Structure 1
Amino acid sequence: MKKKILMTLSIILILCMGGFGIYVNDYSHAQNNALEILNHKNVEKVNSNLITLTPEKKSDVGIIFYPGAKVENTAYLPLLEQITNKGYNCYLLKMPFNMAIFNKNAANKIINQYPNIKHWYICGHSMGGAMASSYVSKNKDKVDGLILLGSYIYGDVSDKDALTIYGSLNTSVKKKIDYKRNIVVIKDGNHANFGNYGHQKGDAKATISRKEQQNQTVKAINNFIEKRLN
């Protein structure tokens, strides 16, 4: 009897593991124009879990980026390169199984690894934003602010210290926002166009270009950080 129970449990476990493997390996891949940025001189693949983008002028401001769930991290390189061009160091993380929920404290290692950075911001898209928010809520002494893309504050974080950016067509995010400050709505933008990974199932089709949505995002982030530094 015990052998039958153990065998049944083993079969269930194998099936669950197989199903999980299929689920996490079905993810959105970075488009070629995003991957090309890996060859730019200010971009360094430090290891399999970290890509850094360094501005021309030395800066003590760093932005750690948590990618959206089941999205290849390199899909966010076009956005982060624009942010870097504004004078900020960017640290793009690769999460286990492309899901930030499995390593929401990943920022700790980066903060410890780069002591020259005096002002840290944690930025995330979608589920990455939720995990970034969760991290900031428990590590307020380590960071200056939170930046959310297609996401909303999760946990004990004041809207004074957070910037929320979302596309007007991303109505599911709008419904979850119950605070007033530091909210930027990109007219005719959607959920997926913060990254370069193509269409996302269930997402509305944006009526502005991906480039325009990212341009407005960079402007909002730059304004938010500049105000906090001055």
Structure 2
Amino acid sequence: MKKRFSFAKLRKIIVVILIWIVFIVKATLVFQTAYEASDRALEYIDNPADGVTVIDKIKLLEFTPENPEIGFIFYPGALVEPDAYAPLMEQLAEHGIKCIIVRMPQYMALLDANGARGIREMYPEIKHWYLGGHSLGGAMASMYGNIHSDEFDGLIFLAAYATDDLTDDDIKVLLVRGDQDKVLNMDRYNECLKNLPSDYQECVIKGGCHAYFGDYGPQQGDGKPSITVEEQTAITVEKLVEFME
């Protein structure tokens, strides 16, 4: 006797199909609305400075100077192409810092907060490591850094804040933001300062905005900067080099 196809099974199949449709639609929208790296940013990948090697390992985008002693793992902001941070990373590499951008699934660090896992072990010659991120990438970096604080010398937040309690961690913290940033939730930012060690450092870039930590053009909802993206990048490089060295 043949088994009858129940409506319960049919409903389950329909639900699964609908879930996949929603997932595909959302993923497609993410790819369509991602902020693309500017041609100027891509030049830092195609034509790096003398002594800096750029290697794309699919999941990782690396900027390596000669004989680096410091490593910096970086989580990009939400919906931003990782290549947009090439100017910042390449210029840090010119100062002897090996920089590794983690390419996040669908441009969302939220989908891979553990993206830094295993990277340090790939380069045992580097003794000092820092972890950081921009915007949502910074928040995800704080989650990973809190759990693995013994693996890093410091955490760096670009237009971001620590969502996890770092007060008991023996780790340095640097916050960098622009005073024209209208994307960063300042109420939440100020509230989360209590999560930081008492000796945290903060740099507020006069005339800087949210988007200019990368080079991907203006960001929706951001403030109007009074400095160029090149100027904000240069200031950020100076502050990060000072912090890491």
Taking only aligned residues, the RMSD between alpha carbons, in angstroms, comes to 1.9
Gapped runs of 5+ residues in structure 1?
A: none
Q: 2:45 is paired with a residue of what secondary structure?
A: helix
1:165 pairs with 176, 180, 195, which one?
176
1:146 pairs with 133, 145, 155, which one?
155
2-side partners of 1:54 and 1:13: how far apart? 42
Q: Provide, for residues 107-165 of structure 1, a one-character-per-residue CA deviation record: whole Å limited to 9, x for no partner.
A: 12211111111000002000110111111100011111001101012212249611000
TM-score after normalising by structure 1 = 0.90
Structure 1 position 170, deviation (Å): 1.8
1:108 aligns with 2:117: yes
Structure 1 position 82, deviation (Å): 1.2
Q: State whether residues 53 and 65 of structure 2, in contact with CA within 8 Å, keep that contact through their aligned partners in structure 1.
A: no
2-side partners of 1:136 and 1:147: how far apart? 10
Q: State whether residues 55 and 63 of structure 2, in contact with CA within 8 Å, keep that contact through their aligned partners in structure 1.
A: no
Counterparts of residues 65-76 of structure 1 (less than 5 Å): 65-76=74-85
Counterparts of residues 48-59 of structure 1 (less than 5 Å): 48-56=58-66, 58-59=67-68
Q: Which amino acid aligns with 1:13?
A: I
Moved more, 214-223 or 170-179: 170-179
- Counterpart of 1:182? 201
2-side partners of 1:18 and 1:140: how far apart? 36
Q: State whether residues 37 and 43 of structure 1, in contact with CA within 8 Å, keep that contact through their aligned partners in structure 2.
A: no
Which one has a bigger Cα radius of gyration?
Answer: 2
2-side partners of 1:216 and 1:143: how far apart? 23
- Counterpart of 2:35? 28
- Counterpart of 1:98? 107
2-side partners of 1:149 and 1:162: how far apart? 11
- Identity, in percent, stands at 37
Gapped runs of 5+ residues in structure 2?
A: 1-6
Structure 1 position 184, deviation (Å): 0.5
Q: State whether residues 50 and 92 of structure 1, in contact with CA within 8 Å, keep that contact through their aligned partners in structure 2.
A: yes
Q: Provide, for residues 55-99 of structure 1, a one-character-per-residue CA deviation record: whole Å limited to 9, x for no partner.
A: 24x222100111111111000000111111122111111111111
1-side partners of 2:230 and 2:106: how far apart? 27
2-side partners of 1:124 and 1:90: how far apart? 12
2-side partners of 1:212 and 1:128: how far apart? 22
1:206 aligns with 2:206: no
1-side partners of 2:233 and 2:101: how far apart? 16
Residues paired across the two proteins, number: 225
Q: State whether residues 150 and 173 of structure 1, in contact with CA within 8 Å, keep that contact through their aligned partners in structure 2.
A: no
Q: Which amino acid aligns with 2:35?
A: S
1-side partners of 2:34 and 2:118: how far apart? 25
Structure 1 position 7, deviation (Å): 4.8
Q: State whether residues 189 and 208 of structure 1, in contact with CA within 8 Å, keep that contact through their aligned partners in structure 2.
A: yes
TM-score after normalising by structure 2 = 0.85
Q: State whether residues 69 and 96 of structure 2, in contact with CA within 8 Å, keep that contact through their aligned partners in structure 1.
A: no
2-side partners of 1:39 and 1:137: how far apart? 35
- Counterpart of 2:73? 64
1-side partners of 2:106 and 2:215: how far apart? 19
1-side partners of 2:94 and 2:25: how far apart? 42
Q: State whether residues 190 and 203 of structure 1, in contact with CA within 8 Å, keep that contact through their aligned partners in structure 2.
A: yes
